Structure 1
Amino acid sequence: MKIAIIGAGISGLMSALELVEQGCSVIIFDQQHAGQAASWAGGGILSPMYPWRYPHAVNQLAQHGKSLYLDWNEKLKPISGIDFEIHETGLLIFDEADFETGLNYAQQFQQPMQHAEYLQAEQLAQVNPFIHPQFQHAMYFPQIANVRNPRLLQSMIGYLKQHPKVEFIEHCPIEQFNIVNGKVQSIRSQNQQTYFADQFVITTGAWSKHWSEQLDLDIPVQPVQGQMVLFKTPQNWLPTMCMNNVMYLIPRLDGHVVCGSSMAHCGFDTTPTAATKQTILAACFEMVPELAAFPIVKQWAGLRPSSPTGVPYIGKMPELDNLWANFGHFRNGLCMGPASARLLRQLILKQPTLLDPMAFCPTRLTANTLTT
């Protein structure tokens, strides 16, 4: 079976990995470089930031992220030569209004990744001595890890590009589906090339609304810009991830610390701004004042694929026999990515699924079908 995947971010690359490991042939398209959009720009926390604020379906997918990345890293690293750098730092959350809900959530669902402890000042200082003393208590999630997403993407791309069943076509925007009798026959690129496959998968992230008109659907996915700032500290300097008021600090193994993240509705603009940078820095220095002594090495912005509830669309597109969706992950594409791709593969190949796919079914898109 030959499968065409349109979009080479985390959703497209993970979908390709799942399918080639089952013996399928895959052709992957991207309008620019593979792995250069939201997937590269994100922080890589392997959990929704506040799981209790999200629908159950989001957490169902996210809970598999860490274990699946560990498995994939073991498989890909010997061939790609790149380690994902899955870093189990744990996460401190300082939002007092969430303490009761978060601790109850952890107790209720008993997921290892969401095991939570309530820390008072003395314990907090032991876990992370750099926290500002104004924070007298915190929720601590010791098992939450982060993945270094640029390395993750490089490893997957390296592995897939050497795979005999994979063809990569970058800088090739796909513009049109050729649909005959309820089935996609082929796709056409911007430069008028036509490509044939047995199955077709849309993994176009924030750009997925592009398909609304030709599929006669209302695809409610919008780009939401998020800006980030990167510091360089000594190796192993900051011992935990930290979060307060939806701002976070993420330490990498080599001492880089990723700080973010903002939210702005500004179309497909990825230009960082000085004002947003100052907002991010103020929030991060409030948590860890000593971070201000270290150099900023980079600032950037990415575009999250916002969907109405953050629940992605995974499965067969309405009214079409061989067109599939894996998009709309909003803020949690990296932690939901592995399970989303596995679920998609199981649906395409008619295999038993790791969870009930109904919550993700793209038939939801017909609720707001475009009228002509």
Structure 2
Amino acid sequence: MEKADNPRPVSGQSSCQLLIVGGGIMGLWAAVHAERRGIDTIIADAGRLGGGASGGLLGALMPHMPDRWSDKKQFQFDALVSLEAEIATLEAATGLSAGYRRSGRLIPLPKPHLEKIARRHCEDAERHWQAGERRFHWHVLDGPPVGGWIEASAGQSGFVHDTLAARVAPRSLIAALVALLRRAKHVRILEHATVAGLDPDRGTAAIGGENIAFNRCILAAGHQSFPVLQGLTPGLKQPLGQPVKGQAALLKADIEPGLPTIFLDGLYIVAHEGGHAAIGSTSENRFDDPASTDAQLDALIETAREIVPILGDAPVVERWAGLRPKAIDRDPMIGRHPDHPRLIALTGGFKVSFGLAHRLAEAAICIAGDTDCGFLLPESFAISGHIATASR
């Protein structure tokens, strides 16, 4: 994306090479990659940067199961491994901690047949979880590898301990990304700036009362991206995506920050810095109030207290709810819109966005600049595939 490509603004109009709509984890990483490449960029968010679903509590970075290997699982593996260096670079540049730690994951095995399945995955992990000289493992153990954390009775048939999983403090990572961008040379930030009109063919947008001319636009507005894309895509018979409500909680307890994340039947218990444990999350396709918490979260907290005794009387310091974007095919949605080539989608990533966002954002920037990013995106991520599904 060369400087000569800058659109010529009319009187009273700002211009940029690249407009990023949405300042969540996807949009922020896209802006960071744009800054690295010297691309004249505006990033706009209807609220404050990172104030939506990206500003949650959980931060679990969990790999797919190592069996039935695919291009999607390889992409996620590469992203999870590369995120470590990306965050180290970010922390060095800002002096801020992102709360990242490769602390691993514990999966209790309550029934005998699950133990047999888990042992088969050991070989799968040895085969596929390799990055150069680095090896990550999927161990099956008779009991928990650490004391004072999960109750041994939770895994009557043993426990899986994987060494690839990690965690990040979502708000700390967001804060580091925002801090980097606030002193960026090529990125301008617009907060509390609602997109009132987006015309990708003319290359114009009305944002926060300001008219902006752009050469390319990356739409990274979470679940709010879907109605925009819907309106630009004729012939759809189903929605391109939907918001899914999630509820989570933060507890204060005397725990070590390096304890492995616990995963059991959709429940995550994540040890964070400062003696905090994040618990979540629900997945609600139907809801009345996107910001409220209720008995569904209470049930998760109660289960967590039952299997982790140290959390038994731990006070709840925060309850959180937010709307996460889920594309029609569940996988992330990325790519140039087939009918509007100036518009690049960067959304979806339901439950996997924090582990993939840096790599997806880099791909989106390369798509916008018509350059090779050096890696392939899984076919199931392409916006064209999501559109095809929604057209049936």
Specify if TM > 0.5. Answer: yes
**Residue in 1 aligned with 2:140?**
118
SS in 1 for 2:317: strand
Q: Does 1:362 align with 2:377?
A: no
The answer to which of 348-357 and 53-62 deviates more is 53-62
Q: Is the 8 A contact 1:318 1:366 kept in 2?
A: no
Structure 2 Cα separation of the partners of residues 338 and 213 of structure 1: 25
Is the alpha carbon distance of 1:100 and 1:306 closer, same or farther for their aligned partners in structure 2, counting shifts above 3 Å?
Answer: farther
Q: Is the 8 A contact 1:29 1:172 kept in 2?
A: yes
> What amino acid sits opposite 1:131 in the alignment?
I
Work out which of the residue numbers 86, 89, 95 in structure 2 matches 1:72.
86
**Residue in 1 aligned with 2:215?**
198
Is the alpha carbon distance of 1:155 and 1:54 closer, same or farther for their aligned partners in structure 2, counting shifts above 3 Å?
Answer: farther
Structure 2 Cα separation of the partners of residues 322 and 238 of structure 1: 44
1:368: how far off? 5.2
Work out which of the residue numbers 175, 178, 181 in structure 2 matches 1:154.
175
Is the alpha carbon distance of 1:263 and 1:102 closer, same or farther for their aligned partners in structure 2, counting shifts above 3 Å?
Answer: farther
Is the alpha carbon distance of 1:278 and 1:305 closer, same or farther for their aligned partners in structure 2, counting shifts above 3 Å?
Answer: same
Work out which of the residue numbers 234, 245, 270 in structure 1 matches 2:254.
234
1:340: how far off? 0.7
Q: Is the 8 A contact 2:243 2:325 kept in 1?
A: yes
Structure 1 Cα separation of the partners of residues 43 and 68 of structure 2: 31
Q: Is the 8 A contact 2:262 2:268 kept in 1?
A: yes
> What amino acid sits opposite 1:132 in the alignment?
E
**Residue in 2 aligned with 1:185?**
203
Unaligned runs of 5+ in 1: none
Q: What's the TM-score, normalizing by structure 1?
A: 0.89
**Residue in 2 aligned with 1:216?**
233
Q: Does 1:307 align with 2:327?
A: yes
Aligned length: 363
Q: Is the 8 A contact 1:58 1:310 kept in 2?
A: no
Q: Does 1:173 align with 2:187?
A: no
1:339: how far off? 1.2
**Residue in 2 aligned with 1:51?**
65
1:309: how far off? 3.4
1:58: how far off? 4.3
Alignment of structure 1 residues 96-107 onto 2, 5 Å: 96=111, 97=114, 99-100=118-119, 102-103=121-122, 105-107=124-126
Structure 1 Cα separation of the partners of residues 219 and 361 of structure 2: 12
Kindly indicate which of the two structures has a greater share of residues assigned to helix.
Answer: 1
The answer to which of 214-223 and 3-12 deviates more is 214-223
**Residue in 2 aligned with 1:246?**
266
**Residue in 1 aligned with 2:100?**
86
Work out which of the residue numbers 46, 53, 72 in structure 2 matches 1:38.
53
Work out which of the residue numbers 121, 127, 151 in structure 2 matches 1:132.
151
SS in 2 for 1:64: helix
* Alpha-carbon RMSD: 2.6
**Residue in 1 aligned with 2:292?**
272
**Residue in 2 aligned with 1:329?**
349
Work out which of the residue numbers 37, 47, 61 in structure 2 matches 1:22.
37
1:68-100 C-alpha deviation (Å, 9 max, x unpaired): 333333333344331112112111011453625
Unaligned runs of 5+ in 2: 4-16
Q: Structure 1 vs Structure 2: percent identity of aligned residues? A: 21
Q: Does 1:289 align with 2:309?
A: yes
1:38: how far off? 1.2
The answer to which of 2-11 and 60-69 deviates more is 60-69
**Residue in 2 aligned with 1:61?**
75
Q: What's the TM-score, normalizing by structure 2?
A: 0.84
Work out which of the residue numbers 143, 164, 171 in structure 2 matches 1:143.
164
> What amino acid sits opposite 1:157 in the alignment?
V
> What amino acid sits opposite 1:109 in the alignment?
H
1:263: how far off? 1.1
SS in 1 for 2:292: coil
1:238: how far off? 6.9
